[in-house]
Amino acid sequence: MQETKAYLDVLPQDILDRYQVMETGSAAKILQAVCGDEFDDIISVMRSFVLTSRLLLTPGGNRGPIPVTIDGMLDELGWIEARVDIEKKTYFFSGHSASISAEDEPAKYEENLISRTYQRGYSIDNVKGRLAADVEWNPKDGNLDRDFSAYRAWFDEGIIVAAILITRLHESTKELTRSIWQHYLTEHPEHAQDKQPVDLSTTTTANYEKAVHRIVRGDLGTCPILVFGIGERAWDGEPWDGKIMQWDKNLQKLSPVDYIPKKQNYSYTTFNLSD
């Protein structure tokens, strides 16, 4: 699938300055024209979101504080999680039956029904109007396949006009997390033997680069998509204070708590030496 650059004429400059963006099918212009209010929601959320050291160093994978934060912003704007299931029926009419149709009276032609399939779809985290959006921060690689299959199916059925994916820039976030941790150790050398709270170096999780690869090879078919990559440009530049973000059930929001470090794991091999 060919990349397009319509977003350069549509997205505000402050958004372009803070995120790496990729699109196909002139997604930004389509969304501006067809889903103006929903597209404004996305711009508002991306403008309000701030990548902090606390967010970066909070363990939790794809259901960590970053997806929770962005999904929460969209939820406040009326976005919902949704799923589309598709049922298909096949009727067989023999002979001269050009005028026969089961469209209006399917029960009348039950004997002509030769197959019926029910396909359970995947849920999309954020849906509003004719726009679908997911936040994939650091999930298993297969999450992208699930998302793209859902986008493609919804688009083919005419339910959405485009999709949005918000994810992390692999190299940028990996190096930023390491840098923040190393700076913390220079200020707190007593934690030199502690394990870095979050390691984003794994190659088995989804990220912006993997998403772009799948999109370009055509995994979404003709469904237009707009992708936002979050990296160092979205970081507020503040050092880590040793706190992580945790969901407070009573307050129903993320709150900072002290991080309890895990010690490095060492393995030893014992050799029995004999003459």
Instruction: Report, as ranges of residue numbers, the positions in the chain whose pLDDT lies below 50.
Output: 264-275
pLDDT of residue 273: 36
pLDDT in tens, 169-186: 999 999 999 999 999 999
Q: What are phi and psi of 219, to 5 degrees?
A: -65, -20
pLDDT of residue 267: 39
Q: Are 58 and 244 in contact (CB under 8 A)?
A: yes
The token pair that represents 186 in the structure block: 């220079």
pLDDT of residue 250: 85
Within 8 A by CB and 6+ apart from 102, the residues are 89, 91, 108, 109, 112, 113
The token pair that represents 106 in the structure block: 């399917």
Sign of CA dihedral 220, 221, 224, 228: positive
pTM exceeds cut of 0.85 = yes
The type of residue at 86 is I
159 vs 161: CA distance, rounded Å: 7
Burial class of residue 263 (count of CB atoms within 10 Å of its CB; 0-12, 13-18, 19+): exposed
pLDDT of residue 62: 63
| Biggest CA pair distance of the chain | 96
22 vs 213: CA distance, rounded Å: 11
40 vs 112: CA distance, rounded Å: 48
Residue 213, helix vs strand vs coil: helix
23 vs 163: CA distance, rounded Å: 10
Domain boundaries, the chain: 3-85+106-258
The token pair that represents 26 in the structure block: 């002139």
Task: Please choose, from the candidates 129, 143, 171, 149, the residue with its C-alpha nearest in 3D space to the C-alpha of residue 61.
Answer: 143
pLDDT of residue 60: 78
pLDDT of residue 61: 63
Q: Helix, strand, coil % (nearest 5) of the chain?
A: 40, 25, 35
3-85+106-258: which CATH topology?
Restriction Endonuclease (3.40.91)
